[in-house]
Structure 1
Amino acid sequence: MNLKELLVSVHAALQDAHIEHALIGAFAMAHYGIQRATGDIDFLIDEIDKKNTVITFEKLGFKIFHQTDEIIQFEGPGSIDFLLAKRELSLKMLQEAKVIKPFNIKCISIEGLIGLKIQAYNNDPKREFQDKADILSLIEQYP
């Protein structure tokens, strides 16, 4: 399954399961005009939907390969990462996400994306170079 097919399939599964979700990561970057290579699709979901998400995607043939209090990572017909919104700021990002075309899927704001990039490289210093480059690209594209 290619990434476009995976995006459509995952979005449909999340909608069918009534799981609020928004794009983050490379697909969100692409929406804002910044292309970068990726092998997975990243979503922000409410932490209260964690159990429902696991059940939904295991039924679709995905398996958890990494899970923490902050993230669930699945592999199977494709790679999907779910960042769990549980703090006020991340829940606000999810609530304020806007529907984008052509897939009619929500995407977090530029400011939210920058915030997640900062959080990501603070949690994993190996990400710092790429995440700072992404932040700079966003700032240059949207001064």
Structure 2
Amino acid sequence: MDFKSVTSRLLTAFAAEQVSYALIGGFAVSLWGHPRATVDMDFLVRQSDMVKVRRIVEGMGYRCIHVSDNVSQFASADKLKGKLDFLHAFRPASLSMLERAALKSIFDGAQHIPVVLPEDLIGLKVQAICNDPSRTSLDMSDIEALVKIFGSSLDWSRIEEYLKLFGMEEKLGNLKEHYDEA
């Protein structure tokens, strides 16, 4: 996937259409200081903007391969375009994530992109584990890396809320141990 080209086109179109979005997933984890390989781009997008998003990405040559109330996934036959996943923000927690997103510099400062905060990224990773336990190893690795990087600066009460929401509150102690080891 040509992240620079795809990102440039998306960000330009999102700005023109006033789409409310933030980067999530592996690319976001990398921007917060834990570089890792990823083959797609994941975004949190205000659900009411998804009609615009679909028009934009289909205009770029993607086709919708899955849509539900919670997520839309697009793929292109062109390997340089890769896959795009959009998590729909419509619940209070996800809408708040969009409001809190921080602008991060990408591609040596050539562009800036809103990225969900580390605590919110952890919350989304917890949700992903709940939705698909086969992702546990990769997502826990991302969570532990973010905890080691940000430690005491994290909003631990927000992380605890996410863990409780998904019935994983027993993980809090383990996460704090990873912070203590950093």
**Equivalent-residue separation in structure 2 for 1:81 and 1:13 (angstroms):** 16
Supply the AA of the counterpart residue of 2:71. I
Gaps of 5+ in 2: 152-182
Counterpart residue number, 1:138? 146
Counterparts of 1:21-36 in structure 2 under 5 Å? 21-36=21-36
Counterpart residue number, 2:137? 129
| Identity across the alignment (%) | 36
Counterpart residue number, 2:58? 58
State the TM-score, normalizing by the size of structure 1.
0.94
In the TM superposition, what is the alpha-carbon distance from 1:119 to its structure 2 partner?
Answer: 0.3
Residues 30-54 of structure 1, C-alpha deviation per residue, up to 9 Å, x if partnerless? 1111011111111110011111211
SS in 2 for 1:66: strand
Runs of 4+ aligned residues of structure 1 deviating over 3 Å after TM superposition are: none
In the TM superposition, what is the alpha-carbon distance from 1:21 to its structure 2 partner?
Answer: 1.0
In the TM superposition, what is the alpha-carbon distance from 1:96 to its structure 2 partner?
Answer: 1.1
The reply to whether residue 90 of structure 1 matches residue 98 of structure 2 is no
Aligned length: 143
In the TM superposition, what is the alpha-carbon distance from 1:78 to its structure 2 partner?
Answer: 2.7
* Bigger Rg, structure 1 or 2: 2
Which structure is richer in relative contact order (CA contacts within 8 A, separation 6 or more)?
Answer: 1
